[in-house]
Amino acid sequence: MAKEMLTVLDRPLIQHAVDEAAKAGIEQFIFVNGRGKHAIDDHFDLAFELERTLELRGKTVELGRSREMVPAPGNVISVRQQQPLGLGHAVWCARHAVGNEPFAVFLADDLVMGDDPCIGQLIRQYEKTGGNVVAVQDVPREHTNRYGVLDVGEDDGHIAEVKGLVEKPEPEVAPSTLTIIGRYILLPQIFDHLESQKPTVGNEIQLTDAMAQLIGGSPFHGLRFTGTRFDCGTKLGFLQANLAYGLRDGDVGAELAAFAKNELSNKG
Protein backbone atom coordinates (compact mmCIF):
# COMPACT_ATOMS: atom_id res chain seq x y z
CA MET A 1 0.00 0.00 0.00
CA ALA A 2 1.32 3.44 -0.91
CA LYS A 3 2.00 5.36 2.31
CA GLU A 4 0.38 8.41 0.73
CA MET A 5 -2.93 6.49 0.90
CA LEU A 6 -2.73 5.96 4.67
CA THR A 7 -5.76 7.65 6.19
CA VAL A 8 -5.59 10.42 8.78
CA LEU A 9 -9.06 10.69 10.29
CA ASP A 10 -11.30 10.43 7.22
CA ARG A 11 -9.06 10.99 4.20
CA PRO A 12 -5.69 9.76 2.89
CA LEU A 13 -2.50 11.77 3.27
CA ILE A 14 -2.42 12.60 -0.44
CA GLN A 15 -5.89 14.14 -0.12
CA HIS A 16 -4.74 16.29 2.80
CA ALA A 17 -1.90 17.55 0.58
CA VAL A 18 -4.25 18.34 -2.31
CA ASP A 19 -6.67 20.06 0.07
CA GLU A 20 -3.84 22.25 1.40
CA ALA A 21 -2.72 23.12 -2.12
CA ALA A 22 -6.24 23.92 -3.31
CA LYS A 23 -6.90 26.11 -0.27
CA ALA A 24 -3.78 28.09 -1.21
CA GLY A 25 -5.05 28.63 -4.76
CA ILE A 26 -3.13 25.88 -6.59
CA GLU A 27 -5.21 24.37 -9.40
CA GLN A 28 -2.94 21.92 -11.24
CA PHE A 29 -1.55 18.80 -9.59
CA ILE A 30 1.24 16.50 -10.74
CA PHE A 31 1.61 13.15 -9.00
CA VAL A 32 4.95 11.40 -9.37
CA ASN A 33 4.12 7.74 -8.87
CA GLY A 34 6.10 4.54 -8.85
CA ARG A 35 5.22 0.90 -9.24
CA GLY A 36 2.28 -0.19 -7.11
CA LYS A 37 0.89 3.31 -6.53
CA HIS A 38 -2.02 3.22 -8.97
CA ALA A 39 -4.40 3.71 -6.03
CA ILE A 40 -3.35 7.38 -5.90
CA ASP A 41 -4.52 7.99 -9.47
CA ASP A 42 -7.72 6.02 -8.87
CA HIS A 43 -8.49 8.05 -5.75
CA PHE A 44 -8.74 11.24 -7.80
CA ASP A 45 -11.01 9.71 -10.41
CA LEU A 46 -14.80 9.70 -10.34
CA ALA A 47 -16.22 6.65 -8.56
CA PHE A 48 -19.53 6.15 -10.38
CA GLU A 49 -20.61 3.08 -8.38
CA LEU A 50 -19.91 4.80 -5.06
CA GLU A 51 -21.67 8.01 -6.07
CA ARG A 52 -24.71 6.12 -7.37
CA THR A 53 -24.95 4.13 -4.14
CA LEU A 54 -24.72 7.25 -2.00
CA GLU A 55 -27.30 8.95 -4.18
CA LEU A 56 -29.78 6.08 -3.90
CA ARG A 57 -29.37 5.97 -0.13
CA GLY A 58 -29.88 9.71 0.23
CA LYS A 59 -26.45 10.32 1.72
CA THR A 60 -26.05 13.78 0.24
CA VAL A 61 -23.40 14.94 2.72
CA GLU A 62 -21.14 11.98 1.96
CA LEU A 63 -21.80 12.40 -1.76
CA GLY A 64 -20.73 16.03 -1.57
CA ARG A 65 -17.55 15.11 0.29
CA SER A 66 -16.71 12.49 -2.30
CA ARG A 67 -17.14 14.91 -5.19
CA GLU A 68 -15.22 17.76 -3.59
CA MET A 69 -12.13 15.56 -3.35
CA VAL A 70 -11.80 15.30 -7.14
CA PRO A 71 -9.99 18.17 -8.94
CA ALA A 72 -11.51 19.58 -12.11
CA PRO A 73 -11.01 17.56 -15.33
CA GLY A 74 -7.59 18.12 -16.88
CA ASN A 75 -6.02 19.43 -13.65
CA VAL A 76 -4.39 16.14 -12.62
CA ILE A 77 -1.29 14.73 -14.30
CA SER A 78 0.36 11.46 -13.32
CA VAL A 79 4.07 10.98 -14.03
CA ARG A 80 5.89 7.66 -13.67
CA GLN A 81 9.17 7.31 -11.79
CA GLN A 82 10.36 3.94 -13.07
CA GLN A 83 13.22 3.62 -10.57
CA PRO A 84 13.25 4.64 -6.89
CA LEU A 85 16.27 6.93 -7.19
CA GLY A 86 15.26 9.50 -4.58
CA LEU A 87 13.34 12.73 -4.21
CA GLY A 88 15.56 14.67 -6.59
CA HIS A 89 14.95 12.14 -9.33
CA ALA A 90 11.20 12.17 -8.64
CA VAL A 91 11.09 15.95 -9.06
CA TRP A 92 13.18 15.70 -12.25
CA CYS A 93 10.68 13.19 -13.68
CA ALA A 94 8.02 15.94 -13.57
CA ARG A 95 10.11 18.46 -15.55
CA HIS A 96 8.07 18.35 -18.77
CA ALA A 97 4.77 18.63 -16.93
CA VAL A 98 6.00 21.59 -14.85
CA GLY A 99 7.54 23.54 -17.70
CA ASN A 100 9.51 26.75 -17.26
CA GLU A 101 7.82 28.28 -14.24
CA PRO A 102 8.10 28.18 -10.43
CA PHE A 103 6.38 25.21 -8.82
CA ALA A 104 5.49 23.77 -5.43
CA VAL A 105 6.68 20.43 -4.09
CA PHE A 106 4.74 18.49 -1.46
CA LEU A 107 5.86 15.42 0.45
CA ALA A 108 2.51 13.98 1.44
CA ASP A 109 3.80 12.13 4.50
CA ASP A 110 4.66 15.53 6.00
CA LEU A 111 1.23 16.66 7.17
CA VAL A 112 0.90 20.27 8.36
CA MET A 113 -2.20 21.14 10.37
CA GLY A 114 -3.27 24.77 10.58
CA ASP A 115 -5.82 27.33 9.44
CA ASP A 116 -3.29 29.03 7.15
CA PRO A 117 -2.02 26.50 4.55
CA CYS A 118 1.73 25.99 4.87
CA ILE A 119 2.23 26.13 1.11
CA GLY A 120 0.20 29.35 0.99
CA GLN A 121 2.63 30.91 3.46
CA LEU A 122 5.52 29.93 1.17
CA ILE A 123 3.75 31.37 -1.86
CA ARG A 124 3.27 34.70 -0.11
CA GLN A 125 6.93 34.77 0.85
CA TYR A 126 7.91 33.98 -2.75
CA GLU A 127 5.80 36.92 -3.90
CA LYS A 128 7.85 39.18 -1.59
CA THR A 129 11.38 37.88 -2.18
CA GLY A 130 11.25 35.78 -5.32
CA GLY A 131 13.66 32.89 -5.67
CA ASN A 132 13.39 29.60 -3.83
CA VAL A 133 11.53 29.23 -0.53
CA VAL A 134 11.44 26.16 1.69
CA ALA A 135 9.50 25.43 4.88
CA VAL A 136 11.83 24.96 7.85
CA GLN A 137 11.72 24.15 11.53
CA ASP A 138 14.24 23.69 14.30
CA VAL A 139 14.84 20.13 15.49
CA PRO A 140 16.93 18.67 18.32
CA ARG A 141 20.56 18.57 17.22
CA GLU A 142 20.66 14.79 17.54
CA HIS A 143 18.05 14.58 14.75
CA THR A 144 19.92 16.57 12.08
CA ASN A 145 20.98 13.34 10.33
CA ARG A 146 17.35 12.82 9.32
CA TYR A 147 16.94 16.05 7.32
CA GLY A 148 18.36 18.57 4.90
CA VAL A 149 19.94 21.24 7.14
CA LEU A 150 20.42 24.96 6.44
CA ASP A 151 23.64 26.91 6.73
CA VAL A 152 22.00 30.16 7.83
CA GLY A 153 22.88 33.75 6.90
CA GLU A 154 20.69 36.64 8.01
CA ASP A 155 17.87 35.43 10.22
CA ASP A 156 15.10 37.49 11.81
CA GLY A 157 13.48 34.53 13.53
CA HIS A 158 10.87 34.17 10.80
CA ILE A 159 12.79 34.26 7.52
CA ALA A 160 16.28 32.83 7.26
CA GLU A 161 18.69 33.45 4.40
CA VAL A 162 20.08 30.18 3.08
CA LYS A 163 23.85 30.26 2.59
CA GLY A 164 24.24 26.53 2.16
CA LEU A 165 22.47 23.17 2.44
CA VAL A 166 23.73 19.86 3.77
CA GLU A 167 21.84 16.59 3.40
CA LYS A 168 21.51 14.59 6.64
CA PRO A 169 24.68 15.76 8.42
CA GLU A 170 25.76 14.15 11.66
CA PRO A 171 24.94 16.33 14.71
CA GLU A 172 28.55 17.26 15.42
CA VAL A 173 29.07 18.78 11.96
CA ALA A 174 25.58 20.14 11.21
CA PRO A 175 25.76 23.88 10.37
CA SER A 176 22.53 24.54 12.32
CA THR A 177 19.44 22.80 13.63
CA LEU A 178 17.16 24.49 11.10
CA THR A 179 15.86 21.76 8.81
CA ILE A 180 13.71 21.48 5.70
CA ILE A 181 10.33 19.77 5.83
CA GLY A 182 8.26 18.60 2.88
CA ARG A 183 7.12 21.92 1.41
CA TYR A 184 9.06 23.81 -1.27
CA ILE A 185 8.66 26.59 -3.81
CA LEU A 186 11.37 26.07 -6.42
CA LEU A 187 12.49 27.79 -9.60
CA PRO A 188 12.58 25.69 -12.79
CA GLN A 189 16.39 26.07 -12.98
CA ILE A 190 16.50 23.21 -10.48
CA PHE A 191 15.87 20.81 -13.38
CA ASP A 192 19.17 21.77 -15.05
CA HIS A 193 21.05 20.72 -11.92
CA LEU A 194 19.01 17.56 -11.40
CA GLU A 195 19.77 16.57 -14.98
CA SER A 196 23.45 16.03 -14.13
CA GLN A 197 23.07 15.25 -10.42
CA LYS A 198 24.92 12.16 -9.19
CA PRO A 199 23.59 9.90 -6.40
CA THR A 200 24.98 10.77 -2.96
CA VAL A 201 23.44 10.00 0.46
CA GLY A 202 21.63 6.66 0.39
CA ASN A 203 22.78 6.18 -3.21
CA GLU A 204 19.91 8.47 -4.25
CA ILE A 205 19.68 11.68 -6.25
CA GLN A 206 19.10 14.21 -3.49
CA LEU A 207 16.95 17.27 -4.08
CA THR A 208 18.98 19.06 -1.39
CA ASP A 209 22.18 18.72 -3.43
CA ALA A 210 20.55 20.32 -6.47
CA MET A 211 18.99 23.09 -4.38
CA ALA A 212 22.41 23.91 -2.94
CA GLN A 213 23.61 24.70 -6.46
CA LEU A 214 20.89 27.35 -6.82
CA ILE A 215 22.28 29.38 -3.91
CA GLY A 216 23.87 32.61 -5.10
CA GLY A 217 22.13 32.63 -8.45
CA SER A 218 18.77 33.68 -7.03
CA PRO A 219 17.31 34.46 -3.59
CA PHE A 220 16.94 31.45 -1.31
CA HIS A 221 15.08 31.56 2.00
CA GLY A 222 13.78 29.25 4.69
CA LEU A 223 10.42 30.16 6.19
CA ARG A 224 9.46 29.23 9.73
CA PHE A 225 5.82 28.45 9.04
CA THR A 226 2.86 28.54 11.40
CA GLY A 227 1.09 25.23 11.95
CA THR A 228 1.80 21.84 13.44
CA ARG A 229 3.80 19.37 11.39
CA PHE A 230 3.38 15.61 11.73
CA ASP A 231 5.89 13.20 10.23
CA CYS A 232 3.45 10.54 9.12
CA GLY A 233 6.28 8.45 7.76
CA THR A 234 6.83 7.34 11.38
CA LYS A 235 4.44 5.38 13.59
CA LEU A 236 4.47 8.05 16.28
CA GLY A 237 3.84 10.93 13.87
CA PHE A 238 1.02 9.03 12.17
CA LEU A 239 -0.69 8.30 15.49
CA GLN A 240 -0.21 11.88 16.67
CA ALA A 241 -1.77 13.22 13.48
CA ASN A 242 -4.84 11.00 13.82
CA LEU A 243 -5.26 12.03 17.45
CA ALA A 244 -4.85 15.74 16.69
CA TYR A 245 -7.27 15.72 13.75
CA GLY A 246 -9.69 13.48 15.63
CA LEU A 247 -9.83 15.78 18.65
CA ARG A 248 -10.74 18.69 16.35
CA ASP A 249 -13.43 16.78 14.47
CA GLY A 250 -17.02 17.81 15.18
CA ASP A 251 -18.35 14.26 14.92
CA VAL A 252 -15.90 12.34 17.11
CA GLY A 253 -13.80 14.94 18.91
CA ALA A 254 -15.64 15.02 22.23
CA GLU A 255 -15.88 11.24 22.58
CA LEU A 256 -12.25 10.80 21.52
CA ALA A 257 -11.10 13.36 24.10
CA ALA A 258 -13.04 11.51 26.83
CA PHE A 259 -11.53 8.20 25.71
CA ALA A 260 -8.01 9.61 25.66
CA LYS A 261 -8.47 11.18 29.09
CA ASN A 262 -9.71 7.86 30.47
CA GLU A 263 -6.81 5.94 28.95
CA LEU A 264 -4.30 8.38 30.40
CA SER A 265 -5.84 8.18 33.86
CA ASN A 266 -5.79 4.36 33.72
CA LYS A 267 -2.16 4.41 32.66
CA GLY A 268 -1.34 6.72 35.58
In a domain, 187, yes or no: yes
Look up the domain containing 125 and give its range: 3-233
Q: Is the residue at 260 inside a domain?
A: no
Rounded Cα–Cα distance for residues 231 and 214 (Å): 27
Q: 115 in a domain, yes or no?
A: yes
Tell whether 255 is covered by a domain.
no
Residue 247 domain-assigned? no
Are 210 and 165 within 8 A, CB to CB? no
CATH of the domain at 62: 3.90.550.10
Answer yes or no: is 144 within a domain: yes
Nearest to 77 by CA among 147, 29, 120, 27: 29
* 18: nearest Cα among 6, 7, 28: 28
Q: Would you say residue 249 lies in a domain?
A: no
Q: How far apart are CA 3 and CA 111, in angstroms?
A: 12
Domain count, the chain: 1
259 inside domain? no
- Show pLDDT as tens, one digit a residue, over the chain (268 residues): 788 999 999 899 999 999 999 999 999 999 999 888 888 888 888 777 877 887 888 888 877 777 777 778 889 999 999 988 999 999 999 999 999 999 999 999 999 999 999 999 999 999 999 999 999 999 999 999 999 999 999 999 999 999 999 989 999 999 999 999 999 999 999 999 999 888 887 788 999 999 999 999 899 999 999 999 999 999 999 999 999 999 999 999 999 999 999 999 987 6
